Amino acid sequence: MVGALGVVFGDIGTSPIYTLATVFDPGDPHPVPVSSHNVYGVVSLIFWSVMTIVTLTYVTLVMRADNHGEGGIMALITLVRKWGAPSTRHTTAALAALGVFGAALFFGDSMITPAISVLSAVEGLEVVDPDFKDLVVPVTAVIILALFSVQRRGTAAVGRFFGPVMILWFVAIGALGVGGIARNPDILRALSPTYALGFLTGHFHIAFFALAAVVLAVTGAEALYADMGHFGRKAITLGWLGLVLPACTLNYLGQGALVLDDESAVRAPFFLLMPEWSRIPLILLATAATVIASQAVITGAFSVASQAAQLGYLPRLRIQHTSASTIGQIYVPWINGVLLVAVLILVFAFRSSSALAYAFGMAVTGTITITTLLFLYLARTRAGAPLWLVIAGGGALLCVDLMFFAANMTKLVHGAWLPLLIAVSAFTVMTTWQRGRVVVTRARREAEGPMQDFIDGLGTRTPPLLRLPGTAVFLNRGADGREGYGDDTAPLSMRSNVDHNHVLAEHVVIVSLTTEPVPRIADAERLSVDDLGAADDGIIRVIARFGYMDRVDVPRALRLLDPSQTEGPLDLDHATYFLSKLELCQGDAPTMAPWRKRLFIATSHITADAAAHFGLPLDRTVIIGSRLQI
């Protein structure tokens, strides 16, 4: 639970810094007037939004939909594919595509969160001394540069300190809230849902636009679900109900009480809630908390990108595992670089947390709405929930989500276009890559030919094929367009080696790597062996199964083979590994639109080195290239 407090709740736990100030921001294109009635309504609306979206939707319901213990929108996509009925194939495909768009929205969230979180904390300097205003953006940029520069070291070392820091943070903001409530205990009436409903129904023209800022109180809800595999549902639930929810609620109530007493405090209610003597240390604590919040969403982006690559929505990326004991701690250099550039651009372009808030809400509401929709589909198809319950209960939850989404659409010209642009761009790349893989696989299968026919013909070649001592391992491509899925075609590298060199090793292992739609595969279930119809020719095919969160290590997997399976002893310490490499070029075939062909070829250039990705020894790896038109 301490670990969950240090990672999972960083984003949602720092929302009190900017949420209430954003709602009443006079610079908002649809400002909410400061009045006692509106303060009660907004605080009540914040509390019940958190209860509905985070406590009910995510903690109580969505976190029950896990894929072998893993959560997140990519896990939902695999569950939808798995549990979709054949008769609803088109519906399943549409929902899976919608889930991919939700993952694309998360990339926008992972760019905006570090910028808005660190900006909001550093803006506390303005409360200490207005002359510090010009330092906010440079200091934020320095913190962000430092944050991204240490990503390659991993979170294993500093992670032990995250939990205690966040516990101190939640205790501090809860205590500040109690102090504010003591000034005006009447604010406790805002806990009644009648104030939220009255504000919505009686002042809908104001409340509707306020929802675009109120949603900031639930940012990070997706992290609770995405990080479930690391900490477990029980730890996250206990952390939320036992500390995070009470602390955030007390702080929102305290800020509301402060504004009721002094309407001018609405410019920075979180920082003005602090006693003057404590502002500098608490601003430092807030900065630490926002850095932790940023860390959580950055590592979340690494995980989503890694899972998307394993499932075939992105090219193979170079991934570094930063902890020998914790599988989920990874570093993806390419994603880290893209995020760093994007976050710095956002900081210098928007220059304030309130300006970024308009963009932030769109990413959050879009992801929440898609997650709820996918969960409701699974509740009906997997759990067998009654249709009336799904329609009535799920319809109510979707109405709440869609109302927040619609409110954020009103900010489209004020910054909400940004996460949509990011999401559409990421979605286009992912779907283009998925489509391109199908095209490449089809062309490759034609070039490779059936594996069994090729193996059967080796013994009748003229002149006879020379068999040399040693072990050769050929990695095969699969039906998904990458090494994988145990395809039934001959590896191009093996075919080229035989056709041009007329030799073959005494012991040959054809390895097909299958990426299963589950997080991890146990070693006992890792391998299956096929002798390809002959038990004495020294040629076998091995299908190695990996989960989408497993580290792919081919030599380690082959060491799991039993000698009785390999038609003789394999010398894996001196084996030569053969890889096929394709050079793609644009052809005239109407397989994709020309712009998508160019995008697919451009995207292929970020593909990580195959030998390093599969854990192959570089001094014993041979790469054989071929040219292919798409």
- Using a 10 angstrom Cβ sphere, with 0-12 exposed, 13-18 middle and 19 or more buried, the burial of residue 266 is buried
Tell me what pLDDT residue 27 has: 78
Residue 135's pLDDT band (cuts 50, 70, 90): confident
In sequence order, the β-bridge partners of residue 513 are 544
If one counts every other C-beta atom within 10 angstroms of the C-beta of residue 56, the result is: 15
Placement of tokens 């990996």 in the chain: 546
pLDDT for residue 488 is more than 80: no
Q: Is 598 left (phi over 0), alpha (psi -120 to 50) or beta?
A: alpha
To the nearest 10°, report the CA torsion of 68, 73, 79, 83.
150
- How many whole angstroms separate alpha carbon 118 and alpha carbon 112? 10
Placement of tokens 């570089």 in the chain: 618
pLDDT for residue 112 is more than 60: yes
445 φ, ψ (degrees, to nearest 5): -60, -40
Closest among 558, 523, 528, 565 to 543, alpha carbons compared: 528
Q: What average pLDDT does the segment 459-469 reach?
A: 83
Record the tokens describing residue 179, joined without a space: 């102090």
Q: What DSSP state is assigned to residue 70?
A: B
pLDDT for residue 324 is more than 70: no
Residue 580's pLDDT band (cuts 50, 70, 90): confident
Tell me what pLDDT residue 159 has: 56
pLDDT for residue 207 is more than 70: yes
- Using a 10 angstrom Cβ sphere, with 0-12 exposed, 13-18 middle and 19 or more buried, the burial of residue 362 is buried
In percent, the amount of the chain with pLDDT more than 70 equals: 94
484: Cβ contacts below 8 Å, ≥ 6 apart:
477, 478, 512, 513, 514, 515
pLDDT top residue among 188 and 606: 188
The verdict on whether omega for the bond into residue 463 sits within 30 degrees of 0, i.e. cis, is yes
pLDDT for residue 201 is more than 50: yes
Q: What average pLDDT does the segment 372-397 reach?
A: 91
Tell me what pLDDT residue 327 has: 52
Residue 482's pLDDT band (cuts 50, 70, 90): very low
Q: What average pLDDT does the segment 213-220 reach?
A: 89
pLDDT top residue among 338 and 300: 338
pLDDT for residue 472 is more than 80: yes
In this structure, are residues 490 and 450 in contact, taking their beta carbons and an 8 Å threshold?
yes
Angle between helices 204-214 and 395-409 (to 10 degrees): 90
Is the pTM value of this prediction over 0.95? no
How would you label 279-309 residue by residue, b for 16+ Cβ within 10 Å and e otherwise?
A: beebbebbbbbbbbbbbbbbbbbbbbbbbbb
pLDDT for residue 269 is more than 50: yes
Q: What average pLDDT does the segment 575-601 reach?
A: 89
pLDDT for residue 522 is more than 70: yes
Residue 18's pLDDT band (cuts 50, 70, 90): confident
- Between strands 576-585 and 539-547, the pairing is unpaired
566 φ, ψ (degrees, to nearest 5): -110, 10
In percent, the amount of the chain with pLDDT more than 90 equals: 33
- How many whole angstroms separate alpha carbon 581 and alpha carbon 148? 32
Q: What average pLDDT does the segment 84-93 reach?
A: 74
Tell me what pLDDT residue 486 has: 41
Q: In the 3-class helix/strand/coil scheme, how is 123-162 assigned residue by residue? A: CHHHHHCHHHHHHHHHHHHHHHHHHHHCHHHCCHHHHHHH
Tell me what pLDDT residue 485 has: 36
pLDDT for residue 615 is more than 70: yes
Tell me what pLDDT residue 154 has: 65
- How many whole angstroms separate alpha carbon 390 and alpha carbon 66? 19
Least confident of 15-24, 136-145, 333-342, 357-366: 357-366
- How many whole angstroms separate alpha carbon 278 and alpha carbon 280? 6
Handedness of CA 458, 463, 464, 468 (dihedral sign): negative
Least confident of 288-292, 324-328, 496-500, 529-533: 324-328
Tell me what pLDDT residue 600 has: 92
- How many whole angstroms separate alpha carbon 367 and alpha carbon 236? 20
In this structure, are residues 539 and 570 in contact, taking their beta carbons and an 8 Å threshold?
no
Beta strands in 477-604 (DSSP E): 503-516, 527-530, 539-547, 576-585
pLDDT for residue 73 is more than 60: yes
- For the ranges 36-50, 161-175, 203-217, 342-356, the maximum mean pLDDT occurs at 36-50
Tell me what pLDDT residue 86 has: 66
Handedness of CA 608, 609, 611, 615 (dihedral sign): negative
Residue 328's pLDDT band (cuts 50, 70, 90): low
- How many whole angstroms separate alpha carbon 119 and alpha carbon 356? 9
pLDDT for residue 480 is more than 50: no
- For the ranges 53-57, 113-117, 286-290, the maximum mean pLDDT occurs at 53-57
- How many whole angstroms separate alpha carbon 316 and alpha carbon 482? 8
Q: What average pLDDT does the segment 97-118 reach?
A: 88
Q: What average pLDDT does the segment 320-347 reach?
A: 79
Read off the pLDDT of residues 564-573 as tens digits, 9 standing for 90 and up.
778 777 888 9
- Average pLDDT, whole number, for the chain? 85
pLDDT for residue 479 is more than 50: no
Residue 502's pLDDT band (cuts 50, 70, 90): confident
Using DSSP's 3-state secondary structure scheme, residue 67 falls into strand
**Measured in whole angstroms, how far is the alpha carbon of residue 464 from the centre of its chain?**
53
Q: What average pLDDT does the segment 466-488 reach?
A: 67
Tell me what pLDDT residue 477 has: 66
Q: What average pLDDT does the segment 12-38 reach?
A: 87
- How many whole angstroms separate alpha carbon 75 and alpha carbon 83? 12
Q: In the 3-class helix/strand/coil scheme, how is 41-61 assigned residue by residue? A: HHHHHHHHHHHHHHHHHHHHH
Which domains does the chain show, CATH number per domain? 1-414 (1.20.1740.10), 445-629 (no CATH)
Record the tokens describing residue 90, joined without a space: 């088109």
pLDDT top residue among 520 and 114: 114
How would you label 456-487 residue by residue, b for 16+ Cβ within 10 Å and e otherwise?
A: eebeeeeeeeeeeeebbbbbbbbbbbbbbbbb
Angle between helices 193-202 and 36-49 (to 10 degrees): 120
Tell me what pLDDT residue 535 has: 66
In this structure, are residues 20 and 255 in contact, taking their beta carbons and an 8 Å threshold?
yes
pLDDT for residue 483 is more than 70: no
